[in-house]
Amino acid sequence: MYAILGKSSSNEVVKVLKGLGMEDAPVQIVSRGEGPKALEEAARVPTDILILDLEAGPGLGPAVLRYRLKRPDVRIILIAEGKKPGDNDVAAVVQAGVYDVVTDISALDAVLDQAPANLSAAAKWLDPAISLEAGEDVSKTIIKEKIIEKKVPMSQRPVLIAVAGTAPGVGTTSVSLSLAAFLAGQKYRTIYIEAGEPSIEVISGMEVGPEPKPFRSYLDICRDADYMNVIRMRKHEYIVLDLGAVEPEKLIETDADLMVAVLPPVARLARAKAWMSTRVLFVCGEESVLEAISYMKTAAETQDVLMLPYKYRFPNGDKKSSEYCSKILRIILPETKRNKFLGFL
């Protein structure tokens, strides 16, 4: 048992847990907005049940998806005190596969004693038109048809990789395409989405719009597409979103599974100063940038800064390029593929 609770509901929930003899369960009390970070920390702790308070949001939906990737077998119970169907925050968490929703904390003990809820029980949170109140006969087929496009199954949800440039002209597109080409080369269905300055048409020699087009084997490309719609379509395993040169907030807003910021050459490194306190993965093209950052007294010192040398970026796709790309993508690659490229097998 593990609990992430807001301040207003923490006393009641703790009281219920004590009544069930679970007073030793770890409880993390957080302020509003701290839930996503708390979920990231909770993913490091083995448990069978996680109680999550909606008050710890916003942003819990994507955070739960990331938690599920690391702890797919944990039963998650959402505390949504006083909420009713139609609430967008609850719907976002249900879309992530959380079907136990408690709107009255006094009923929490009963929920804990019951088997985990299923999709039918949670369907009303995704579409208020679906009512599952006692006495109403609602077909499971109708439920599934109504919400199939609203719920993204964890087993099919694409992994989102967002790449941003810390300054113009740092090679955001070449890094993005390098990562996309590497994933496609491993036979993962991958799509590259260009959202920054247009260049993919010149690179590909094709007319590129919002609709995905085949570019290489296992690799589609498109431009100015809504990446959330691409996720919902579930036709790809990996999505590489090329944002171009943007402010740090734009990258963070994507809430991607992997957020990558491309650094400029050392001569222009000062232009990336605004990024140095951002918690993302930095990628640079030359050793001198690594050396320069090591002397900078910033938060970047505690984060990963990895190399993808300019000469090994797209369109180059040799073994050396694959080694660099696999290190960048290591936290989102399946274990066997990751070990293969890191030399563990």
Three-class secondary structure of residue 275 per DSSP: helix
Task: Enumerate residue ranges in the chain where pLDDT < 70.
Answer: 127-156, 295-303, 335-345
The whole-number pLDDT of residue 72 equals 85
CB 39 within 8 A of CB 52: yes
The whole-number pLDDT of residue 136 equals 42
User: Does the reported pTM lie above 0.85?
Assistant: no
The whole-number pLDDT of residue 127 equals 63
CA distance 90 to 82: 11
Integer CA distances (angstroms), 332 to 21, 158, 162, 214, 259, in order: 38, 11, 13, 23, 11
DSSP state of 8: H
CB 185 within 8 A of CB 317: yes
The whole-number pLDDT of residue 156 equals 56
The whole-number pLDDT of residue 73 equals 86
DSSP state of 25: S
CA distance 171 to 244: 9
pLDDT tens digits, one per residue of 21-71? 888 889 999 999 999 999 999 988 889 999 999 999 888 988 888 888 888
Domains and CATH numbers, the chain: 2-147 (3.40.50.2300), 159-341 (3.40.50.300)
Residue 237 CA neighbour count, 13 Å, CB half: 14
Handedness of CA 167, 168, 171, 176 (dihedral sign): positive
pLDDT tens digits, one per residue of 208-240? 999 999 999 999 999 998 898 888 788 899 999
